[in-house]
Amino acid sequence: MTDKILLVDDDRNILSGYQRVLRKSIDLDVALGGAEALQMLVGQGPYSVVVADMQMPGMSGLELLAKAQSAWPDTIRIMLTGNTDQRTAADAVNQGQVFRFLTKPCSPQDLELAIRAGIRQHQLVRAERELLEGTLTGAIEVLSELLASVDPGAFSLGLAVRSRCGQVARNLGYMDSWAIEVGAMLAPIGRIALPREVLSADAFKPETQAILARVPELGASMIQSIPRMEAVAEIIRYQAKGFDGSGAPEEGLSGEAIPLGARILKAVQDFTVLEHRRHSRAVALEELKLHGRPYDPLVLKALEACFGGSAGSTPMPRLVPLRDLLPGMILTGDLHTSTGQLVLGQGLRLGKGHLELLRNLADFLQIPDRVSVIERPDQG
């Protein structure tokens, strides 16, 4: 992909001169002033490098680069300035995070050298981000598969809770819901550090409850060392913490001091578990509101807005042969082998991998040849 460059100045002659000299070696767009530059950033970007004059009427170069840094953080920012005092430099670094300063008048050759250095920096930034994102995606997939194999019931619950957390977050105006959704999916990950005897024990025994109470902290400890997963680790750590300060961990956090993702996750988890037990969304919501102190009132309101109106709209389940199962169908009950081993849990939305797993297991283990599913599930 060609690296696009945007040059911004309030002098049309300066822009025309640079464009005429550099057009054969650099893909250079020009903008007359900050307002036009913002329009081009939105409509014609992304740009690898933005070069802006410091002194422009209406919107200064500093203001423009600060906006660019906020909205397009990977874009490299270069400033042209006739004012080289220390305060100007400090403001540019702190507000616009500029990569290079160029003093005016600046020769086309010096400008080209700075732009090429900016292009190399942009390529490094982009490569690092892609590497981190690939590593992060791979780590999440490995952890998910590990949880699915060790505790399929917890994994199924996590998948059901994930999409709901995203809906509640967006209802609250929190559009960047990635960390919340990943935190919801990996919320039970600490369970893989527990002995199988604990996972299969009576969950109501005090000694079992004491061990299970450590799951959030265990999970957070596993996640926090992965790059860019710090926010996810905090959501997992505080998933059982009540809005009123109750629950683990026993430190003094309460109210809005608890991460928003954790407040959403606690309400959605409890709602989903109650819905499965009571077989009714309406009853589950009423129970949450009845015991409302552990829940953020705004989160409860968003939860009701997302799921309260569709309490009676769940399609009727039906038995479907294994060979006829399709991606997107949802299990309406736990699926066990003939010996009682849990294979897939209630509420799981089937994907291609699950269907392949079931068909492979059917050749080796005795599992039911018909499965109860919702055929055209709602989005909840």
Write down the pTM of the prediction.
0.57
Distance separating alpha carbons of residues 281 and 310, to the nearest angstrom: 8
The CATH-assigned architecture of domain 151-313 is Orthogonal Bundle (1.10)
pLDDT > 90: percent of the chain? 28
Average pLDDT over residues 78-88: 71
pLDDT tens for 255-303 read 999 999 999 999 999 999 888 888 788 888 888 988 888 999 999 999 9
367: number of Cβ within 10 Å: 17
Give the chain's count of helices (H) and strands (E): 15, 10
Q: Residue 72 in contact with residue 96, Cβ under 8 Å?
A: no
Q: Which residue, 39, 54, 7, 10, is CA-closest to 26?
A: 7
**pLDDT top residue among 13 and 226:** 13
Query: Residue ranges of the domains in the chain?
Result: 4-127, 151-313, 315-380
315-380 CATH, one of 3.90.105.10, 3.30.1370.60, 3.30.460.80, 3.40.50.80: 3.90.105.10
Question: In this model, does residue 116 exceed pLDDT 90?
Answer: yes
Mean pLDDT score of the chain: 82
Average pLDDT over residues 149-157: 75
pLDDT tens for 43-64 read 998 899 999 998 899 898 888 9
**Token pair listed for 283:** 């009853």
**Token pair listed for 74:** 């990977």
Distance separating alpha carbons of residues 124 and 118, to the nearest angstrom: 10
The superfamily in CATH containing domain 4-127 is Response regulator (3.40.50.2300)
**Which DSSP state fits 214?**
T
**pLDDT top residue among 185 and 90:** 185
| pLDDT bracket for residue 311 (50, 70, 90) | very low
**pLDDT top residue among 191 and 38:** 38
Dihedral angle at the C-alpha atoms of 13, 17, 19, 20, nearest 10 degrees? Answer: 130
Highest mean pLDDT among 87-101, 193-207, 281-295: 281-295
Q: Specify the 3-state DSSP secondary structure of 68.
A: helix
Q: Where are the beta strands (DSSP E) in 137-209?
A: none
Q: Residue 156 in contact with residue 198, Cβ under 8 Å?
A: no
Bridge-partner residues for 53, per DSSP?
80
**Token pair listed for 42:** 């939105």
Q: Helix 260-278 to helix 178-185 angle, to the nearest 10 degrees? A: 50
Distance separating alpha carbons of residues 184 and 159, to the nearest angstrom: 8
Q: Which residue, 289, 224, 229, 300, is CA-closest to 263?
A: 300
pLDDT given for residue 292 in this prediction: 83
